[in-house]
């Protein structure tokens, strides 16, 4: 059943690979915003229109809030934090962009392998949703590991969350409206808090480079304590 949803999922996969190769902060934020829009669209596109009729209020509401929070509010928040922190526009990778892209591709392949291994039941809206979700989560986590700046890590985290959301839509999980909005709210507040944290870190360290945030290991502390 090739549908618009599957096209969307394919595009989603593509955003991940592009995200892995992006060197610009603004572009990365924009990509994550696009992902957010797609996450918002997905429940509606995956909806079985022919059998189930028009989706109810719940689906619309979740789709709307998802798109609004992940596609609009959070990117704006991030861009604001980046501006306030006077972050450099470069992403400063620990792993090169080309290699990152290769790794993202590898993650995608592995995800499809896992998707195959899981017995996907026919109730799942789209077989593609699960591998794409895995890929997105994997890429997000990889970006957290592979990029130096604190703000990029938040970005990676957002991608990771998007992956989870894709999965949720893909397997048509129904939590109930309150829960789903609660989850969204949590993510929103989390990113908000992260943003504040970045702001404060920037103020205290005059940089949001997480390399500066490596002072609290056992090894460093030992040297510090011994020199006391």
Q: Name residue 56's beta-bridge partners.
A: none
Min. distance of Cβ 63 from another protein in angstroms?
17
Q: Is 225 exposed, middle or buried (0-12, 13-18, 19+ CB in 10 A)?
A: exposed
The only residue of 51, 53, 83, 119 in contact with another protein, by rule CB under 8 A? 119
At CA 165, angle to CA 131 and CA 36, rounded to 5? 105
Return the residue matching tokens 């056992």.
218
As beta bridge partners, residue 147 has: 93
Q: Which of residues 142-171 bind another protein (CB under 8 A)?
A: 142, 144-146, 150, 153, 157, 160-161, 163-164, 167-168, 171
- Residue 49 binds another protein, judged by CB under 8 A: no
What x/- string results for residues 166 through 195 when contact with another protein is judged by CB under 8 A? Answer: -xx--x-x-x---x--xx--x--xx--xx-
Residue 77, H or E segment: helix 74-84
Query: What are the tokens at 15?
Result: 């955003």
Tokens of 154: 């938040």
Q: Which residues bind another protein (CB under 8 A)?
A: 94, 114, 117-121, 123, 137, 141-142, 144-146, 150, 153, 157, 160-161, 163-164, 167-168, 171, 173, 175, 179, 182-183, 186, 189-190, 193-194, 197, 200-201, 204-205, 210, 213-222, 224-226, 228
């Amino acid at each position: 059943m090739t549908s618009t949803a599957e096209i969307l999922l394919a595009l989603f996969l593509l955003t991940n690979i592009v995200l892995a190769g992006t060197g610009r902060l603004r572009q990365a934020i924009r990509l994550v915003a696009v992902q957010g829009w797609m996450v918002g669209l997905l429940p509606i596109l995956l909806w079985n229109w022919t059998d189930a009729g028009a989706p109810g209020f719940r689906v619309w509401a979740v789709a709307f809030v998802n798109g609004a929070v992940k596609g609009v509010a959070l990117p704006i928040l991030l861009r604001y934090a980046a501006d306030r922190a006077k972050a450099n526009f470069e992403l400063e990778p620990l792993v090169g962009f080309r290699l990152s892209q290769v790794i993202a591709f590898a993650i995608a392949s592995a995800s499809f392998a896992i998707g195959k291994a899981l017995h996907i039941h026919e109730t799942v809206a789209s077989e593609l949703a699960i591998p794409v979700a895995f890929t997105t989560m994997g890429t997000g986590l990889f970006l957290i590991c592979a990029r130096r700046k604190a703000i990029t890590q938040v970005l990676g985290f957002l991608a990771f969350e998007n992956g989870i959301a894709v999965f949720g839509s893909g397997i048509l999980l129904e939590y109930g409206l309150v829960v789903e909005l609660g989850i969204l709210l949590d993510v929103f507040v989390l990113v908000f808090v992260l943003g504040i944290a970045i702001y404060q870190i920037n103020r205290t360290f005059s940089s949001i480079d997480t390399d500066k945030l490596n002072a609290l290991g056992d090894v460093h502390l030992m040297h510090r304590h011994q020199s006391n």
